[in-house]
Every structure is written in C-alpha cells, then in structure tokens.
Amino acid sequence: MENNNVQLLGLGESELEQFAIDSGQPSFRGRQLYQWLYKRGITDIDEVTVLPKNWRDSLIKQGITVGTLTEKDRWVAEDGTIKLLLATVDGELIETVGIPTSQRLTICISSQIGCSMACRFCATGKGGLQRSLKVNEIVAQFFAIKNVFGKTPSHIVFMGMGEPLLNIKAVLSSIRCFNQDLHIGQRRITVSTVGVLKSLPILAESALKYLGSVQFTLAVSLHAPNQNLRELLIPSAKQYHLNTLLNDCRHYIDITGRRVSFEYILLGDVNDQNEHAEELADLVAGFQSHINLIAYNPIEEETFKRPSLNRIYAFMDILKRRGVTVTFRKSRGLDKNAACGQLRHIQP
C-alpha cells in the first residue's frame, strides 16, 4: 500500500495491519490504529498516543490523515432533527442529517457531492454533480452525527445527496465498515436509488462478492405509476424504461433473495390521484414489496405542492385494499430544509 494521500477511516482491521507492516511497523500497530479509529473516534493521527511518536510524525509528514470532515454549519429543527454542513479536505461541501426518535437515531448519508439525476422535485440535483464521495468521506458522516448527538446512530439510510448506484464501490466499502467495524447490522442499512441503467444486477453481484451476503434494504424510487409521468419527473427515466427497471428489480431479488422496497413521493394533483394509486398497485403486483409514501417537501425552484392528509390517506387506503403493504413516512426537519429531497449541493 502506498502511503501518500491515504485516509485511514474506512479501512478494516486487516488492511490497517498491512498498512502498519508496509510502513515498517509490527502488525499490532495496525490493530491499535483500528481500535482508536473505531472505538475512540479520533480525528487526528497525533491523538493515537500509543503509537511511537516518530511514526506518528512520519505519517503526518507524508500527508496521511484519518479522513474526517469539518463541520461548517448546523441547523436544529423543531422536531430535533439536525442537519450538518460538512467540508471535505478539498473544500467541497455536503449535507448530512441525523433524525432522532425515542428508540433510534437514523443518519441520512450522502454518497456524492451534488447529483446528476436532476429529479425535478429534489433540490440536490439543481446544482449538478461535482464528484462522488470517497469511503472515508461517507464513514466520516457517521462520526459527525455521533459527535453531535452524543450517541451512536442505530440506522443508516443512503438517502442524502447523490445517487448511490453511481458510486457503488465506495458505498459497498462503507457498508462493510459500518457493519464489521462499527457493528451496525446490515438490516439497519438502506440504499436508495432512483434507478441507473444496468446497475442493479451489478450491485447485487458486487455486494455478494464483497460483503459475503446481502442483508441491507434496497429502496427503489418510483414516484410515478407509468412511464410517461415518470419521464416528466425524472429525466433519466427516458433512458431507463420503467418496465426495464422493474425487471432489474426482479433480477436483484433473484440474486440476493432480498425483497425490494419502493419509494413514492406524492405531489399534489400530479401523481396522487385515485387512478394513480390503482395503477401503482397494478405495477407492483407480484412483488413481495413494501411501499413508502412521502409527501413532497417544498424546494424553492419548483411549484409542486404537498397533498392534503386526506388525499394521502385515500391513496394509502386504495393500496391497502389492493393488498399492498404501505406506510406513510412523516417528514422530519422540514422547517430547516433537512427533509427528503431538500438537501443541497452548496457551492464552497
């Protein structure tokens, strides 16, 4: 392993042992690094005082870092949700969100700086894509939220900025870290995607190869019950037909043995009518699936509106009557633009 430009966060125990050996140190020094990274949550190599001072100085001189992010701003919503603005080493900015309840702390993680998918209802894509996040930058969000709340996140959702399936390798590497190094069960991790052509089979096969098993939840964002409406809301749908996406979902299920959840943002008078609910029920027929309904969270660039609660419940009732398992996800952090679809690609 070359030492230049190495960020240690995200590396596993065996990788850190090899890192120590390659640096001329005994392997147990790597295990010490591992303990201080993941048990103590250190942010600087010089904090690892059990390591020889001359080795610490050498690593720092080489530019080797832990790979944490710097908090630039913080917003606390009325419901206790906290949104952080975090800076990368190269000065880019990302947003990540901690969502507390009485029984859990969920972190909404970003996988990219900005997003190229340009979904009309989402603020992140309005600024385009800058780059994908590295493994250490994904894992560092976990520690940022942990430090703010003073407790370990219990659930992780890749529903922040970016399209995770355009950064599969780093996302899977971070899931390995969350699971094996930070002891977050895969079943408490969700990867959300709007759909990237030919990527679902790659995700399934890569996850099996790299993680050994696939227990995390895949959440596929539909947001429309037919191809024409989906194209109006999601530009990439023009190159990735809805029927092809659903076939890829079936392929994913065949490979992994895991069911797929579907996400559906309700836009008032756009995709929330009774006929849309009936059409959606037809669309997911045959899937052992679950549908999460989300009311549109306003962004300044669009004039979409949130549906009324009566409309939401009427939509749900139709799905339930058709035998579809469905829940309505309450918006969190709405007053601080921390809810689903409101995270932004902020220019540094």
Report how far apart the first and last C-alpha atoms of the chain are (Å, whole number).
Answer: 32
* Beta carbons within 10 angstroms of residue 171's beta carbon: 28
Specify the DSSP element, H or E, that contains 312. helix 309-321
Specify the DSSP element, H or E, that contains 94. strand 93-100
Say which of 119, 122, 249, 340 is annotated catalytic: 340
Phi-psi region of 188 (alpha: psi -120 to 50; beta: other; left: phi over 0): alpha
95 included as an active-site residue:
yes
Amino acid letter for position 281: A
277 contact partners, CB below 8 Å, separation of at least 6:
225, 314, 315, 318, 319
Token couple for 235? 């530009």
Token couple for 39? 């048990």
Amino acid letter for position 173: S
Amino acid letter for position 11: L
Backbone angles phi, psi at 137, to 5 degrees: -75, -30
Residue listed under structure tokens 């399209």: 163
340 included as an active-site residue:
yes
DSSP symbol at 333? S
Q: 115 near 161, Cβ under 8 Å?
A: yes
Say which of 17, 92, 95, 163 is annotated catalytic: 95
Q: Which residues are designated catalytic?
A: 95, 340
